[in-house]
């Protein structure tokens, strides 16, 4: 048996209104001149105004600054600009607020603060990641769970593809999960980001790596999402359900330190080539991916996923348990209006070769429940096109 590291280290504050604790927490972390990293879309929202009001309460001799240039699919220049601004203002910590993109940029910029000349495409050559400036991560969507992740997905100049910059030192020092900050997220975005969290839980649970702690977290995350996501989709002001979705999204990301699978490999090229929202791409590929895994790996793969969804599938045959669970997920996505085809979102037949080529290169499917070939990817794309 290979040795495995179990690691759940991030301090997380959860609850409606916990953002008000930020000034005291910054003081404790020794942050007196934070750089707030976000995107242009968030500036002016209620969530950002609440952050600004909260930071306005810090002591008179303290200052804070804002970098709001993060792209929806962040690029290397976003990270470089953040680091340049950080140094120019003599900042001493990062507050990343928003969806996955600002959180990823805020995380990664800290290595360039420490090593301005580092080639991000060769981040793995950097021998010393100690002493990165502290990061406070505040998500305003419930999906990627980037706030508890130790990686940062950035489109690199050298390759023009999404690169995953990974190091345990990238972890935030503090995560604040305040459901009041997600209240104004519109239903479509709420559904798509929530589907990303659901896919993280399902794919990490079925990924064949020995990690029973992550398995337990993934299954509980599925239970929370099945309960809460339809409620926030119908009523965005449901604070209890918003809170459960925030926790479930963080759980999905904790669980996928195990790894992911074929569905994320299908989804990533749909974003880089066709500009599709990551959560939507996962949602549209989820059922096809689950059917593929059920047919190619061990029967009964999804039985406990079904139980987590509240289905009575313990007495069924393995095949019936998989069938009922996949049918439930299909109906669940339909209820969230996530049952459209790729072609309704601008994906065309002529994109197929490029999509397949990138999907095969994507690392996520290396840990799928069953091996995936070029032809499998082509068939799966055709199934959902
Ligand atoms: Fe994802």
Q: Decide: residue 85, CB within 10 A, 0-12 exposed, 13-18 middle, 19+ buried.
A: middle
* pLDDT tens sequence for the chain (385 residues): 777 777 777 999 999 999 999 999 999 999 999 999 999 999 989 999 999 999 986 556 669 999 999 998 899 999 999 999 999 999 999 999 999 999 999 999 999 999 998 999 888 888 899 999 999 999 999 999 999 999 999 988 888 778 889 999 999 999 999 999 999 899 999 999 999 999 999 999 999 999 999 999 999 999 999 999 999 999 999 999 999 999 999 999 999 988 899 999 999 999 989 999 999 999 999 999 999 999 999 999 999 999 999 999 999 999 999 999 999 999 999 999 999 999 999 999 999 999 999 999 998 999 999 999 999 999 999 999 9
Give residue 199 CA to ligand 1 midpoint distance, Å.
Answer: 7
Q: Are 138 and 180 within 8 A, CB to CB?
A: no
Spacing, Cα 298 to ligand 1 middle (Å): 24
- d(CA 360, CA 155) in angstroms, rounded, equals 18
- 3-class secondary structure, 243: helix
pTM of the model: 0.94
351-362 core/surface letters (b: 16 or more CB in 10 A; e: else): beeebbebbbeb
Taking the centre of ligand 1 as the mean of its atom positions, its distance from the CA of residue 88, in whole angstroms, is 33
Q: Give residue 25 CA to ligand 1 midpoint distance, Å.
A: 29
The predicted structure's pLDDT at residue 73 = 85
Strands 162-166 vs 11-14: parallel, antiparallel or unpaired: unpaired
Q: What pLDDT was estimated at residue 284?
A: 98
> What is the 201 CA–ligand 1 centroid distance (Å)?
10
DSSP 325-363: HHHHHHHHHHHTT----GGGGT--GGGHHHHHHHHHH-G
What pLDDT is recorded for position 58? 59
Q: Measure the CA–CA gap between 92 and 313, rounded to whole angstroms.
A: 53
Tokens of 229: 């996501």
Q: Is 300 left (phi over 0), alpha (psi -120 to 50) or beta?
A: left
Distances (CA, A) of 44 to 41, 94, 186: 8, 19, 16
- Residue 80 CA to ligand 1 center (angstroms) comes to 24
Looking at residue 39, what DSSP letter applies? Answer: B
Rounded distance from Cα 153 to ligand 1 centre (Å): 11
Tell me, in angstroms, the distance from the centre of ligand 1 to residue 129's CA.
25
Q: pLDDT value at position 261?
A: 96
Separation of alpha carbons 279 and 283, rounded Å:
6
Interval between CA 24 and ligand 1 midpoint (Å): 32
Between helix 374-384 and helix 352-361 the angle, nearest 10°, is 130
């Amino acid at each position: 048996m290979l040795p495995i590291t179990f690691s759940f280290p991030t301090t997380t504050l959860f609850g409606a209104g916990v953002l008000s604790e930020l000034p005291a927490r910054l003081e404790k972390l020794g942050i007196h001149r934070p750089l707030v990293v976000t995107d242009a879309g968030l500036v002016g929202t209620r969530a950002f105004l609440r952050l600004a009001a909260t930071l306005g309460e810090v002591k008179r001799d303290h200052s804070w600054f804002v970098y709001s240039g993060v792209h929806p699919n962040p690029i290397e220049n976003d990270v470089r600009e953040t680091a340049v601004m950080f140094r120019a203002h003599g900042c001493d910590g990062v507050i990343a607020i928003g969806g996955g993109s600002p959180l990823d940029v805020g995380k990664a910029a800290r290595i360039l603060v420490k090593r301005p000349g580092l080639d991000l495409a060769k981040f793995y050559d950097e021998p010393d990641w100690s002493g990165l400036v502290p990061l406070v991560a505040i998500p305003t969507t419930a999906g990627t769970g980037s706030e508890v992740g130790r990686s940062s997905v950035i489109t690199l100049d050298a390759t023009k593809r999404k690169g995953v910059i990974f190091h345990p030192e990238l972890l935030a020092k503090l995560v604040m999960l305040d459901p009041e900050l997600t209240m104004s997220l519109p239903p479509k975005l709420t559904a798509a980001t929530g589907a990303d969290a659901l896919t993280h839980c399902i794919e990490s649970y079925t990924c064949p790596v020995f990690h029973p702690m992550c398995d337990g977290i993934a299954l509980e995350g599925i239970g929370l999402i099945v309960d809460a996501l339809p409620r926030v989709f119908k009523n965005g002001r449901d604070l209890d359900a918003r809170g459960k979705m925030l926790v479930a999204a963080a759980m999905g990301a904790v669980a996928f330190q195990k790894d992911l699978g074929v569905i994320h490999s299908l989804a990533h090229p749909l974003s880089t080539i066709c500009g599709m929202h990551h959560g939507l791409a996962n949602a549209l590929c989820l059922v096809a991916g689950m059917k593929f895994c059920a047919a190619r790996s061990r029967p009964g793969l999804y039985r406990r996923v079904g139980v987590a969804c509240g289905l009575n599938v313990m007495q069924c045959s393995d095949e019936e348990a998989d069938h009922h669970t996949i049918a439930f997920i299909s109906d669940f996505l339909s209820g969230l209006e996530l049952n459209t085809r790729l072609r309704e979102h601008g994906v065309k037949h002529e994109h197929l070769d490029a999509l397949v080529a990138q999907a095969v290169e994507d690392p996520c499917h290396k840990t799928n429940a069953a091996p995936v070939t070029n032809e499998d990817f082509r068939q799966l794309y055709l199934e959902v096109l």
